[in-house]
C-alpha cells in the first residue's frame, strides 16, 4: 500500500511558507537579534560571517544570499572588521541609519564591556599563581594562532609567484628594516594598482566566501527586491554622512585636546587609533604589528608580553578580534593614570572607550556613506587589484608577528636568559591541533590554559 502522506509541493503549507518571504521585521525585533549576535559572535571574522549567514540568510531569510555576498564583497574591500561592517550594512539596509548604527554598535559593545572586566582582572590579579599559570599556557597558543592566521590568509592570497614575491618583500621590509606598516600597505597598494594595468590576471581576486546556494526560500530583501528609498545614492546624502562623520571625529578630538592637551595619553590614543582604523586591511592580525610599533615601542602604553596577553583575551571574547585595542587602551590608561592614581579603573575604562570610539567610527562612515553606491552596483564592484597586493603583503607582516611572539614566549628574558622548552612544546602541540586536527580557537585556548596551570603548580 502506498503512503498516504502527501509529498510537499508548492501547494502544501510547508512549501508555500518557504516560497513566501517572511513578514516585515520590526525595529525592536532586529535590535534583539543584533544584541544576541554581539554575545555569540565568536570564531573570528570567518566564524562571525558564518553565524550571520546561517541566521540571516538560511533561517530567518531577512536577506538573500546574493545580496548578502554583494555586501560582504564591499566590506572585504574596506579597512576595518568586515564582520562588524557587514552587520552594520544589513542593519542599515533594513532599518535606515538607526538600524545600521544599532547593528554595528551591538556587535562591539558586549565585547568592550567584557574586555574592560577581563583587563581589570588581569592587572589586578595577574600575579596570582593561578592567573599567571593560565596566561603561561595561553601565550604559546597565541603564537600558534598567529602562525595559523598567516597560513590561512596565505592560502587564499598567494596564488602566483608575484604574490609570493610581494609577501616575501613585505616580510623582509618589516623584519630586517623595521619599515612602518603604513608604508608597506601603501607600497603594496601602488604595486597592485599599476601592476594590474600591465598584468591584470596576476592581481585578480579569486574565490571570495563561496558561491551562491539556492533553496533557502524567498527572502525579505531578495535578489530582485528594489533598493529602498533611503539606500539610493544622492550626492547630498553622501556629503551629509561624510560631514557628520568628520564632525563627530573633530568634536571628540577637540574635546580631548581642550581637556587633556595634545601630548596627553588619551589624545594620542585617539589620534593613533584613528590611523590604525584606516590600515586594517586583511583583518586584525594585519594591523597588530602597527599597533605594536605604536603602542609598545613609540608610546609605551604597555609591554610586549602584555600585548600577547591582550591578544589572548581578545581571542576568548565575542566580537571583532580588533577589539584587542580596548585592552591596549585599558592597560595604557591604567598605567599612565589618566584619571589620577586613585581612579585607575576609571582611567582604564575611559581609555578603552576612547580607543574603541576612534577605532570603529570610520567603519560606520564607510558603510553609511558607501552603501548607496554598492546598492547601485550589484555584480560590478571593481578596483580589487590593490587589495590583492595588500593582502599578499599582509601575509609577510603576520609571519613577522608570529616570529616576534615566538621570540618573546620562548625566550621570555631575551636570548641570554635561557630557552623555555615547555612554552615551545605547547606552541608545537597547539600548531599541530590547528593545522592537523582543525581544533577550534576556544577549545585550543582552554586546553593550553589547563596545561599552563598544571605546569605552574607542578613546578
Q: What pLDDT is attached to residue 383?
A: 56
Range scoring the smallest mean pLDDT among 40-49, 89-98, 164-173: 40-49
Residue 445 has pLDDT above 90, yes or no: no
Torsion of CA 325, 326, 327, 331, to 10 degrees: 110
Number of other residues whose CB lies within 10 A of the CB of residue 422: 15
Residue 3 pLDDT? 41
Quick one: pLDDT at residue 208? 41
Give pLDDT tens digits for 69-103. Answer: 778 767 877 788 888 999 999 999 999 999 999 99
Q: Are 363 and 280 in contact (CB under 8 A)?
A: no
Q: Report residue 118 as a C-alpha cell.
A: 577581563
Query: How many Cβ atoms from other residues are within 10 Å of residue 281's Cβ?
Result: 21
Q: Each residue of 303-345: pLDDT tens digit?
A: 988 998 888 888 778 888 889 999 999 999 999 999 999 999 9
> Between 7 and 95, whose confidence is greater?
95
Residue 125 has pLDDT above 50, yes or no: yes
- The 10s digit of each residue's pLDDT in 173-221 is 989 988 877 788 889 889 988 888 888 878 765 444 333 344 577 888 8
Tens-digit pLDDT profile for residues 352-391: 999 999 999 999 999 999 999 878 765 443 456 777 788 7
pLDDT at 451 over 90: yes
pLDDT value of residue 211: 34
* Grid cell of 403 as nine digits: 616570529
pLDDT tens digits for 229-286? 998 989 999 999 999 999 999 999 999 999 999 999 999 999 999 999 987 665 666 7
Query: What are the angstrom distances between the C-alpha of 218 and each of 21, 23, 51, 283, 375?
Result: 5, 11, 19, 32, 19
Residue indicated by cell numbers 549576535? 37
60 to each of 9, 14, 56, 180, 210, how far by Cα in Å?
21, 15, 5, 44, 20
SS3 content of the chain, % helix, strand, coil (to 5): 75, 0, 25
Cα atoms in the Cβ-side hemisphere of radius 13 Å centred on 190: 6
Q: Residue 160 in contact with residue 203, Cβ under 8 Å?
A: no
Cα separation of 337 and 332, whole Å? 8
* DSSP, res 160: S
Give the pLDDT score at 46: 62
Mean pLDDT score of the chain: 84
Domain ranges of the chain: 25-101, 123-207+245-458
What is the distance of C-alpha 323 from the center of its chain? Answer: 7
- Residue 9 reports pLDDT greater than 50: no
Q: What's residue 198's pLDDT?
A: 84
User: Nearest Cα to 402, choosing from 151, 168, 182?
Assistant: 151
pTM of the model: 0.73
Which of these ranges, 136-140, 192-196, 321-325, 414-418, has the smallest mean pLDDT?
Answer: 414-418
> Does the structure show a pLDDT above 90 at 32?
yes
Asked if residue 158 has pLDDT above 90, the reply is no
Amino acid at each position: 500500500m502506498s503512503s498516504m502522506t502527501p509529498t510537499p509541493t508548492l501547494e502544501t503549507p510547508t512549501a508555500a511558507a518557504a516560497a513566501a518571504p517572511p513578514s516585515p521585521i520590526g525595529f525592536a525585533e532586529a535590535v534583539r537579534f543584533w544584541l544576541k549576535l554581539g554575545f555569540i559572535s565568536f570564531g573570528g571574522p570567518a566564524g562571525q560571517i558564518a553565524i550571520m549567514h546561517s541566521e540571516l540568510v538560511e533561517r530567518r531569510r531577512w536577506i538573500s544570499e546574493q545580496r548578502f555576498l554583494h555586501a560582504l564583497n564591499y566590506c572585504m574591500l574596506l579597512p576595518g572588521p568586515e564582520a562588524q561592517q557587514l552587520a552594520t550594512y544589513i542593519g542599515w539596509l533594513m532599518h535606515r541609519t538607526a538600524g545600521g548604527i544599532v547593528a554595528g554598535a551591538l556587535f562591539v559593545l558586549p565585547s568592550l564591556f567584557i574586555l574592560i572586566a577581563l583587563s581589570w582582572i588581569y592587572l589586578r590579579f595577574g600575579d596570582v599563581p593561578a592567573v599567571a599559570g593560565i596566561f603561561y599556557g595561553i601565550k604559546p597558543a597565541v603564537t600558534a594562532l598567529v602562525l595559523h592566521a598567516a597560513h590561512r590568509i596565505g592560502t587564499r592570497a598567494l596564488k602566483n609567484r608575484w604574490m609570493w614575491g610581494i609577501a616575501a618583500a613585505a616580510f623582509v621590509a618589516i623584519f630586517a628594516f623595521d619599515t612602518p606598516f603604513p608604508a608597506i600597505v601603501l607600497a603594496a597598494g601602488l604595486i597592485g594598482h599599476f601592476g594590474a594595468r600591465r598584468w591584470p590576471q596576476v592581481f585578480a581576486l579569486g574565490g571570495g566566501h563561496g558561491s551562491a546556494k539556492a533553496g533557502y526560500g524567498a527572502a525579505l530583501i531578495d535578489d530582485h527586491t528594489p533598493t529602498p528609498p533611503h539606500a539610493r545614492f544622492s550626492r547630498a546624502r553622501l556629503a551629509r554622512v561624510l560631514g557628520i562623520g568628520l564632525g563627530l571625529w573633530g568634536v571628540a578630538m577637540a574635546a580631548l585636546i581642550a581637556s587633556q592637551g595634545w601630548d596627553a595619553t588619551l589624545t594620542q590614543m585617539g589620534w593613533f587609533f584613528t590611523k590604525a582604523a584606516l590600515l586594517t586591511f586583511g583583518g586584525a592580525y594585519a594591523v597588530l604589528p602597527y599597533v605594536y610599533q605604536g603602542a609598545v615601542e613609540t608610546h609605551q602604553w604597555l609591554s610586549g608580553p602584555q600585548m600577547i596577553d591582550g591578544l589572548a583575551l581578545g581571542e576568548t571574547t565575542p566580537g571583532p578580534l580588533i577589539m584587542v585595542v580596548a585592552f591596549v587602551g585599558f592597560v595604557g590608561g591604567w598605567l599612565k593614570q589618566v584619571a589620577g592614581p586613585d581612579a585607575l579603573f576609571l582611567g582604564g575604562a575611559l581609555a578603552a572607550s576612547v580607543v574603541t570610539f576612534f577605532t570603529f567610527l570610520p567603519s560606520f562612515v564607510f558603510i553609511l556613506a558607501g552603501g548607496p553606491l554598492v546598492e547601485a552596483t550589484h555584480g560590478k564592484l571593481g578596483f580589487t587589484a590593490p587589495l590583492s597586493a595588500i593582502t599578499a603583503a599582509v601575509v609577510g607582516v603576520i609571519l613577522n608577528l608570529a616570529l616576534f611572539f615566538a621570540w618573546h614566549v620562548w625566550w621570555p628574558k631575551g636570548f641570554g636568559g635561557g630557552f623555555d622548552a615547555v612554552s615551545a612544546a605547547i606552541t608545537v602541540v597547539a600548531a599541530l591541533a590547528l593545522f592537523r586536527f582543525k581544533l577550534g580557537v576556544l577549545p585550543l585556548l582552554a586546553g593550553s590554559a589547563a596545561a599552563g596551570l598544571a605546569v605552574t603548580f607542578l613546578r
